[in-house]
Amino acid sequence: MASFDVIIKNGTVYDGVSSEPRLLDIGISGKEIKAIDKLSGANAGRIIEADSKFVTPGFVDIQNHSDSYLTLLEIPSQDSLVAQGITTVAVGQCGTSLAPLVSPEALKSIQKWHSLAGANLNWLTFEEYFRALKDYPLGVNVLSLVGHSTMRRGLLRDEVRPATKEEILIMERLLRESLEAGAAGCSLGLVYAHEVDTGQEELLSVAKIIGEHQKLLSVHLRSEGRHVIDAINEVVEFGQVRGAKFKISHFKVRGKQNWPAVEEALAILDRAYQKGVDIFFDVYPYTTSWTVLYTYLPKWAYEGGRQNILQNIKNPATREKILAYLKSSELNLAQVFIATSETNSAFIGKNLAEISANQEISIEQALLNVLAATQAQVIAFDHNLSEDVLEILLKHPLSIVGSDGAGYDYHFSPAHGLIHPRCFGTFPKFLQMVREKKIMTWDAAIRKITSRPAEKLGLHKRGVLKPGNFADIVVFDPYAVGSPASYENPYQEPDGIDYVFVNGKLAYQAHGEQNEQAGEILRI
Decide if 483 contacts 429 (C-beta within 8 A). Answer: yes
Beta strands in 151-278 (DSSP E): 185-189, 216-220, 245-248
* Interatomic CA distance for residues 472 and 8, integer angstroms: 13
**Polymer length of the chain:** 524
* Interatomic CA distance for residues 151 and 303, integer angstroms: 17
Neighbours of 1 (CB within 10 A): 5
pLDDT band at 113 (very low <50, low <70, confident <90, very high): low
pLDDT, mean of residues 249-262: 94
* Interatomic CA distance for residues 349 and 333, integer angstroms: 15
SS3 of residue 495 by DSSP: strand
308 backbone dihedrals φ, ψ, rounded to 5°: -65, -40
With a CB cutoff of 8 Å and minimum separation 6, the contacts of 47 are 6, 7, 9
Neighbours of 483 (CB within 10 A): 26
Give the Å distances, CA to CA, from 309 to 212, 289, 303, 318, 359. 38, 22, 8, 10, 21
Amino acid at 135: D
pTM of the model as a whole:
0.95
pLDDT band at 276 (very low <50, low <70, confident <90, very high): very high
| Cα of 30 vs its chain's centroid, Å | 30
* Interatomic CA distance for residues 492 and 471, integer angstroms: 26
Q: Which domains does the chain have, with CATH numbers?
A: 3-56+468-509 (2.30.40.10), 59-287+385-457 (3.20.20.140), 292-382 (no CATH)
pLDDT at 231: 94
pLDDT band at 343 (very low <50, low <70, confident <90, very high): confident
Taking only the tens place, the pLDDT of each residue in 303-331 is: 777 888 999 999 999 999 999 999 998 78
Give the Å distances, CA to CA, from 69 to 73, 337, 403, 424. 9, 19, 14, 15
- The answer to whether residue 515 scores a pLDDT higher than 90 is no
- The answer to whether residue 421 scores a pLDDT higher than 80 is yes
Taking only the tens place, the pLDDT of each residue in 387-417 is: 999 999 999 999 999 999 999 999 877 767 7
Taking only the tens place, the pLDDT of each residue in 195-244 is: 777 888 999 999 999 999 999 999 999 999 989 999 999 999 988 898 99
* Interatomic CA distance for residues 84 and 427, integer angstroms: 6
* Interatomic CA distance for residues 503 and 158, integer angstroms: 42
Dihedral of CA atoms 452, 455, 459, 460 in degrees, nearest 10, equals 110
Taking only the tens place, the pLDDT of each residue in 154-209 is: 999 878 788 999 999 999 999 999 999 999 999 999 887 667 778 889 999 999 99
